[in-house]
Amino acid sequence: MKKRMLSGIKPSGQLHIGNYIGALNNFVKYQEDYEMIVFIANLHCITIYQDPKELQKNLTDAIALYLAVGLDPNKSTIFLQSDVMEHAQLGFILQCNSYLGELNRMTQYKDKVAKGEQNLTVGLYTYPDLMAADILIYGANYVPVGVDQKQHVELARDIAIRMNNKYEKELFVIPAPLIEKVGSKIYSLQDPTSKMSKSDKGEKGLIYLLDDPKKARKKIMGAVTDSINKVQYDPQNQPGISNLLVIAASLSDRSIDEVLEDVQEMQYGQFKGYVADIVVKKLETIQQRYHEIIESGIITKVLTEGAQKASKMANQRLKRVQHAIGLEIEKTND
Ligand code: AMP
Ligand code: TRP
């Protein structure tokens, strides 16, 4: 039997090439060999305030982009997190089986506290428990994520082991994070030591999948590099150039060494042009599919069918968990 793999994306902004290289592109590959479950983590989005109209647009775009990059609803189960109510319910149960000390250590929350951000919501704090529920409710064996999410998958693993010991031996499948060697962290074009992220202040550091290709080319041409003037893979001393190499390799399905064969003699300007060509070609292909999908009206059908399939699986596990922890009263027919 195929192993089960699950992942979610939280489109609280537009998806960018970091999401594509670190997540989406891998899902497409994995769906051939695994039973793939992918969803849009819309509940996770609202842990920080979202403008309702903008959120709706981002969710639609995210689904359309999932399909545009090649996720196939006949091979993968694709749905919206909030359409499967069981996630939130198991999430609460898991909150009751995790500790303040654990959640205090979760970097996403910890970083925001350290930065002195005000009015953080309780949802942001318990976010990792909901994520653990997303994973455990489907009995996923593997969870492909970028390095930043590894800690959350490990929490899911810890809770699963804890509850298996406490309640029932094989209540939960123990999940493992799956992190790709290349591309699991794409860096900002403007600050190549920090992650390319939709929370980036400026727009120049990241390339959205729906960016105008001309604008994307400009962003690559303006990427921060160094004064060493040699194109080589050296993330320590040349983070900007190394990041561009990873982007070029990932988007053209080649290894960094293969790309280096083409580019190692180039000046930086020429090298950036080479990377920009690859990025633009990729964006054009994705955007053409994206427009076809939006116009086809297929999204509602995919989401409805996906949620039906997912709910069935989720409900079975939730019932079993509720039974194991003593929440359910045996019902008789009379
Ligand atoms: P997020 O955009 O934070 O919801 O992330 C969605 C998925 O994309 C997660 O698996 C992340 O780890 C991955 N991801 C986000 N940003 C990057 C990045 N800069 N490089 C690689 N993967 C990323
Ligand atoms: N927290 C993840 C992120 O920020 C999104 C996510 C939610 C997720 N639930 C998940 C990822 C379950 C993997 C598995 O990207």
Task: Please indicate, yes or no, whether residues 281 and 311 belong to a single structural domain of this protein.
Answer: no
Task: Please indicate, yes or no, whether residues 116 and 168 belong to a single structural domain of this protein.
Answer: yes
63 in Cβ contact with 297 (< 8 Å): no
Residue 42 in tokens: 């819309």
Task: Please indicate, yes or no, whether residues 153 and 18 belong to a single structural domain of this protein.
Answer: yes
Task: Please indicate, yes or no, whether residues 316 and 274 belong to a single structural domain of this protein.
Answer: no
User: Which pTM value belongs to this model?
Assistant: 0.89
Tell me if 199 is assigned to some domain.
no
Rounded CA separation 70/91 (Å): 30
| pLDDT tens, residue by residue, 81-117 | 999 999 999 999 999 999 999 999 999 899 999 999 9
Catalytic residue among 29, 75, 112, 204: 112
Which residue has 């309780």 as its token pair? 122
Task: Please indicate, yes or no, whether residues 279 and 306 belong to a single structural domain of this protein.
Answer: no
Instruction: Give the confidence band of 180 by pLDDT, cuts at 50, 70, 90.
Output: confident
Residue 311 in tokens: 């709910």
129 in Cβ contact with 103 (< 8 Å): yes
pLDDT, residue 183, reads 66
Could you list the residue range(s) of the whole structural domain that residue 242 is in?
213-292
Question: E-strand spans in the chain?
Answer: 4-9, 35-40, 76-80, 142-144, 176-178
23 in Cβ contact with 145 (< 8 Å): yes
Tell me if 198 is assigned to some domain.
no
Rounded CA separation 248/264 (Å): 13
pLDDT, residue 201, reads 66
Q: Specify the CATH number for the domain of residue 23.
A: 3.40.50.620
Task: Please indicate, yes or no, whether residues 247 and 153 belong to a single structural domain of this protein.
Answer: no
Residue 232 in tokens: 């080589």
Tell me if 187 is assigned to some domain.
no
Task: Please indicate, yes or no, whether residues 98 and 116 belong to a single structural domain of this protein.
Answer: yes
Rounded CA separation 147/150 (Å): 5
Q: Is the CB of 157 under 6 A from ligand 2?
A: no
Tell me if 253 is assigned to some domain.
yes
The yes-or-no answer on residue 198 being catalytic is yes
Task: Please indicate, yes or no, whether residues 92 and 117 belong to a single structural domain of this protein.
Answer: yes
Task: Please indicate, yes or no, whether residues 235 and 91 belong to a single structural domain of this protein.
Answer: no
| pLDDT tens, residue by residue, 139-173 | 999 999 878 899 999 999 999 999 999 999 999 99
Tell me if 188 is assigned to some domain.
no
Question: Which of 6, 10, 19 to mutate for ligand 1's pocket (most ligand atoms within 8 Å of CB)?
Answer: 19
CA dist list (Å): 47 to 57, 123, 231, 265: 17, 5, 41, 47
Task: Please indicate, yes or no, whether residues 64 and 166 belong to a single structural domain of this protein.
Answer: yes
As for how many domains the chain has, the answer is 2
Residue with the nearest Cα to atom 1 of ligand 1? 10
Q: Specify the CATH number for the domain of residue 229.
A: 1.10.240.10
Q: Is the CB of 9 under 6 A from ligand 2?
A: yes
